[in-house]
């Protein structure tokens, strides 16, 4: 079976100007987390506190919509006694947040904007995202990186599936989504296990979400799925292309004319294991900046635990430029170390 990097997702940060004075890693790169007594503010603005960390620049390739399919992600890391923080940024000439919005048609009906015949492969009406994949209990990941979990050439999925080689092996997936999670200040805390693809019982194969007690995102549609159920305050047209659950209002069809758009996603802060990652992403002058954080030790079996400062933690990075699956990915294995 052929294997290649695929469908990775998750988190990085920075805004304004790209970080300079970096180490560039085409193969294995080392990201050193610096100790800090003060937590950085997660707002997408790079403050002076980040100067404590040394930047690692990670080239990524093979993605849709990026020039030549490539960009470079520059990452820094800080930590305290209880938390770990990340700053990352990359160049992207477009801010893409128009994920499948509803649009009113000339005949008065509504439809979600989607590319024809692009089932599970949307590259126009989607969102920008960043993903990190961490090892929990998959031996091959430390030497092969994401390749160990990414499988192509399989029946049923044009761009492959993600799953670990054996039962009991898991990976931690941090997935920051421009429409579905970042507006509520979070990343999507997910994981990968050994579940194989089945179009009915496991269409996402081994890629799954951590447990939650409430919150998250859901479709904004009426019971017959023919138009929106809720709207922005005042029944205003999009953007933004998401509805905050706490601020949504009843949809009034009479307020809209042909061509107007309404968000198709309702978002709310996640409570529970799935909501462990705090995140902010900001686009400015052709650069995406991500700042995100998580407790070093969560106690969850679905999370990597940064409980040993002497240990190295392998990870991979992917960038999704308005692409549902065709992401740009790094080569080799990146490693996080904690500076004493």
Encode pLDDT of 115-130 as tens digits: 998 878 999 999 999 9
Residue 213 pLDDT: 98
Percentage of the chain modeled with pLDDT above 70: 91
pLDDT of residue 18: 43
Q: What is the number of other CB atoms lying within 10 angstroms of the CB of residue 157?
A: 21
Q: Which residues pair with 201 in a beta bridge?
A: none
- Residue of 31, 86, 20, 90 whose CA lies nearest to 59: 90
Gap between the Cα atoms of 306 and 187, Å rounded = 18
Residues of the chain with CATH 2.60.40.1190: 23-97+122-203+273-338
Please state, as a whole number, how many other Cβ atoms lie within 10 Å of the Cβ of residue 272.
Answer: 15
Q: Per-residue pLDDT for 249 more than 70? A: yes
Task: Tell me the whole-structure pTM to 2 decimals.
Answer: 0.90
Tens digits of per-residue pLDDT, 196-248?
A: 988 889 988 999 999 999 999 999 999 999 999 999 999 999 999 999 999 99
Position 27 scores a pLDDT of 56
* Long-range contacts formed by 65-68: CB under 8 A, 24+ apart: 65/94, 65/96, 65/123, 65/321, 65/322, 65/323, 66/92, 66/319, 66/321, 66/328, 67/93
What is the overall mean pLDDT for the chain?
A: 91
How confident is residue 157, by pLDDT bands cut at 50, 70 and 90? low
Looking at the predicted structure, is the pLDDT value of residue 24 above 60?
Answer: no
Structure tokens at 198: 């089945």
pLDDT score of 144 more than 60: yes
Q: Given phi > 0 = left and psi -120 to 50 = alpha, else beta, which region is 174?
A: beta
- CATH fold, domain 23-97+122-203+273-338, is Immunoglobulin-like (2.60.40)
Position with higher pLDDT, 96 vs 157: 96
Name the range with the highest mean pLDDT among 108-122, 276-290, 321-335. 276-290
């Amino acid at each position: 079976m052929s294997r290649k990097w695929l469908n990775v997702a998750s988190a990085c940060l920075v805004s304004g100007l790209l970080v300079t004075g970096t180490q560039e890693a085409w193969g294995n790169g080392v990201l050193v987390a610096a100790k800090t007594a003060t937590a950085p503010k997660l707002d997408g603005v790079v403050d002076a506190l980040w100067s404590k960390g040394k930047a690692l620049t990670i080239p990524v390739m093979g993605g849709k919509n990026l020039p030549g399919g490539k960009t470079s992600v520059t990452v820094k890391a800080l930590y305290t006694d209880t938390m770990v923080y990340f700053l990352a940024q990359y160049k992207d000439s477009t801010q893409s947040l128009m994920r499948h919005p509803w649009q009113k048609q000339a005949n008065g009906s509504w439809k979600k904007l989607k590319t024809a015949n692009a089932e599970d492969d949307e590259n126009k009406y989607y969102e920008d995202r960043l993903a990190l994949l961490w090892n929990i209990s998959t031996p091959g990941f430390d030497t092969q990186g994401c390749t160990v979990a990414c499988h192509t050439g399989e029946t049923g999925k044009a761009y492959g599936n993600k799953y670990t080689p054996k039962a009991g092996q898991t990976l931690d997936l941090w997935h920051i989504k421009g429409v579905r999670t970042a507006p509520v200040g979070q990343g999507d805390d997910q994981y990968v296990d050994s579940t194989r693809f089945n179009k009915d019982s496991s269409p996402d194969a081994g890629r799954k979400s951590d447990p939650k007690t409430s919150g998250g995102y859901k479709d904004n549609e009426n019971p017959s799925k023919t138009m929106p159920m809720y709207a922005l305050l005042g029944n205003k047209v999009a953007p933004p292309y998401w509805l905050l659950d706490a601020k949504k209002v009843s949809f009034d069809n009479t307020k809209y004319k042909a061509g107007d758009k309404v968000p198709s996603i309702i978002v709310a802060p996640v409570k529970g294991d799935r909501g462990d990652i705090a995140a902010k992403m900001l686009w400015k002058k052709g650069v995406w900046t991500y700042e995100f954080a998580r407790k070093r030790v969560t106690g969850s079996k679905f999370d990597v635990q940064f409980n040993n400062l002497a240990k190295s933690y392998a990870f991979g990075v992917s960038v999704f430029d308005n692409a549902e699956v065709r992401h740009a990915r790094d080569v080799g294995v990146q490693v996080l170390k904690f500076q004493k």
